[in-house]
Amino acid sequence: MNKLQLKRYAKLLVKTGLNVKRGQWVIVNTGLDQPEFVEWVVEELYRAGAGKVSVEWSHQPLTKLKYRYEKEDVLANVPKWEQERWELYTKELPSMLHILSEDPDGLSGIDQEKMRAVTVGRMKIIKPYRDRMENSYPWCIAAVPGKAWAKKVFPDLQANRAVEALWDAILKASRADGPDPVREWARHNDDLAKKCDYLNRIGLTALEYESSNGTNLRVGLLPDALFMGGGESDLKGRYYNPNIPSEEIFTSPRAGDADGIVYATKPLSYQGQLIENFSVRFEKGKVVEVKAEKNQALLEKMVAMDEGACMLGECALIAYDSPINNLGILFYNTLFDENASCHLALGRGFGNCVRGYEDMTNEQLKEHGINDSMIHVDFMIGSKDLNITGITKNGGRVAIFKDGNWAF
């Protein structure tokens, strides 16, 4: 790949993704797949004024070995030093850059019940720290190619060629293939903001989804909910872009207010395994049935992870005719596939989707109707004939999507 273009991408993650301020502590979470690119990111962070940069490496094969050989109570334990680290994070509020590159099938074969129990055990300790940090620091999720991931996306290419092809797809999907990605993202954020402004003006109380694949779902919205998209600001007013790429306009629905069935249109990569050809049926806001041709048991465990895992935390709107979908590539990675398609998320909602959230505690947001859970899992539902109708406060019906694309 053109190193100049990759360095422009690194600059985009630093300048637009995190919008690093002078003296900021930044933590980079990444795998071992692209160490040279991580070097470029770290250098860009320092050039942008970061006062301290910490890189936390991970390696998926090692994670798989831990689950194979370590006992459940060992894996689930959160030692004192790790809790003290989380306590430090709540005080210092470092910016966080997460760089994904994992194999979509990299954790297949692991005992699913063991993984669920470990996740539940650890999150009981970690989640309160994460709740205290919510909306209080800039973060960004982006991606680089790993060889196994690249071969999954491009199985007919040699490994090195597959990595090159995935780099090309990532840059195009991330609007980072031109001479000035930072400027291109400023334009993109402006366009997303205009769509949000319109949706926030018309006063929607529900969304109705219909598609020829069988999707027929109604989701209730909070009366003071906000539609958001692209860049956002934390509680200190620091503007950043949490996802690169991002094509979505999203909101958090009212917890416990959804009825009907929805069919996924793309596979879901969850805990290093793929769930394929699945549907989810809701009654009175909760999942009452899931079906999947592959990994149904994993899907069932996911929606039973905790009390909020069976309810919706997000409704996201993305045109079927989006730049990512038009690439014609299935990425097998939620960050990309969710931005190629309208999607829903099971689990935790976003408190900052409520007007006046700044003056509300997490418990108040939960009482207000924002779903709470240890998980937040997006699954894709967009199709070329998906229609979405908005219901307004006075009972009016407004076309939001027509035949898979924006109706306004």
pLDDT one-digit tens code per residue, 23-41: 999 999 999 999 999 999 9
Q: What's the whole-number mean pLDDT along residues 357-364?
A: 92
Using DSSP's 3-state secondary structure scheme, residue 28 falls into: strand
User: Is it the case that residue 156 has pLDDT exceeding 90?
Assistant: yes
State the DSSP string of 163-227: HHHHHHHHHHHTT-SSS-HHHHHHHHHHHHHHHHHHHHHTTEEEEEEE-TTS-EEEEEE-TTB--
Exposure string of 252-270, with b = 16+ CB inside 10 Å and e = fewer, is: bbbbbbbbbbbbbbbbbbb
User: Where among 173, 208, 236 does a domain terminate?
Assistant: 173
pLDDT one-digit tens code per residue, 163-222: 999 999 999 999 999 999 999 999 999 999 999 999 999 999 999 999 999 999 999 999
Domain that holds residue 19: 3-173
Q: Let me know whether 162 and 290 are in one domain.
A: no
State the DSSP string of 48-114: TT-SEEEEEEE-HHHHHHHHHHS-HHHHH---HHHHHHHHHHHHH--EEEEEE---TTTTTTS-HHH
Q: Let me know whether 116 and 198 are in one domain.
A: no
Cβ pair 69, 8 in contact under 8 A: no
Cβ pair 19, 90 in contact under 8 A: no
Using DSSP's 3-state secondary structure scheme, residue 231 falls into: coil
Percent of the chain with pLDDT over 90: 98
Give me the pLDDT at residue 64, please: 96
Encoded amino acid at 222, one letter: L
Cα 82 from Cα 74, distance rounded (Å): 14
User: Is it the case that residue 1 has pLDDT exceeding 90?
Assistant: no
Q: Let me know whether 252 and 203 are in one domain.
A: yes
Q: Let me know whether 331 and 397 are in one domain.
A: yes
Which residues, 6 or more positions from 314, have their beta carbon under 8 angstroms from its beta carbon? 250, 251, 252, 253, 343, 344, 345, 349, 350, 376, 378
Give me the pLDDT at residue 396, please: 96
Q: Let me know whether 24 and 162 are in one domain.
A: yes
Q: What's the whole-number mean pLDDT along residues 139-149?
A: 98
Cα 310 from Cα 293, distance rounded (Å): 20
Paired with 391 in beta bridges are: 206, 397
Give me the pLDDT at residue 272, please: 86
User: Is it the case that residue 233 has pLDDT exceeding 90?
Assistant: yes
Residue with token string 């969710």? 338
Cα 348 from Cα 401, distance rounded (Å): 25
Q: Let me know whether 256 and 368 are in one domain.
A: yes
**Taking the model in full, what pTM does it have?**
0.91
User: Where among 130, 145, 173 does a domain terminate?
Assistant: 173
User: Is it the case that residue 131 has pLDDT exceeding 90?
Assistant: yes
pLDDT one-digit tens code per residue, 77-122: 999 999 999 999 999 999 999 999 999 999 999 998 999 999 999 9
User: Is it the case that residue 160 has pLDDT exceeding 90?
Assistant: yes
Q: Tokens representing 88?
A: 């430090």
Cα-based distances in Å from 274 to 59, 115, 142, 165, 262:
19, 15, 20, 22, 18
Number of domains forming the structure of the chain: 2
Cβ pair 135, 120 in contact under 8 A: no
Please give the backbone phi and psi of residue 263, each rounded to the nearest 5 degrees, phi first: -110, 130
CA trace torsion 338, 341, 343, 348 (10° rounding): 20
Q: Let me know whether 258 and 144 are in one domain.
A: no
Q: Let me know whether 331 and 219 are in one domain.
A: yes
Average pLDDT, rounded, for the chain = 97
What CATH number is attached to the domain comprising 44? 3.40.1830.10
Q: Let me know whether 341 and 220 are in one domain.
A: yes
pLDDT one-digit tens code per residue, 269-289: 998 899 999 999 999 999 999
User: Where among 107, 138, 173 does a domain terminate?
Assistant: 173
Q: Let me know whether 206 and 284 are in one domain.
A: yes
Give me the pLDDT at residue 263, please: 98
Q: Let me know whether 207 and 342 are in one domain.
A: yes
Q: Let me know whether 129 and 162 are in one domain.
A: yes
Give me the pLDDT at residue 135, please: 94
Give me the pLDDT at residue 41, please: 98
pLDDT one-digit tens code per residue, 202-215: 999 999 999 999 99
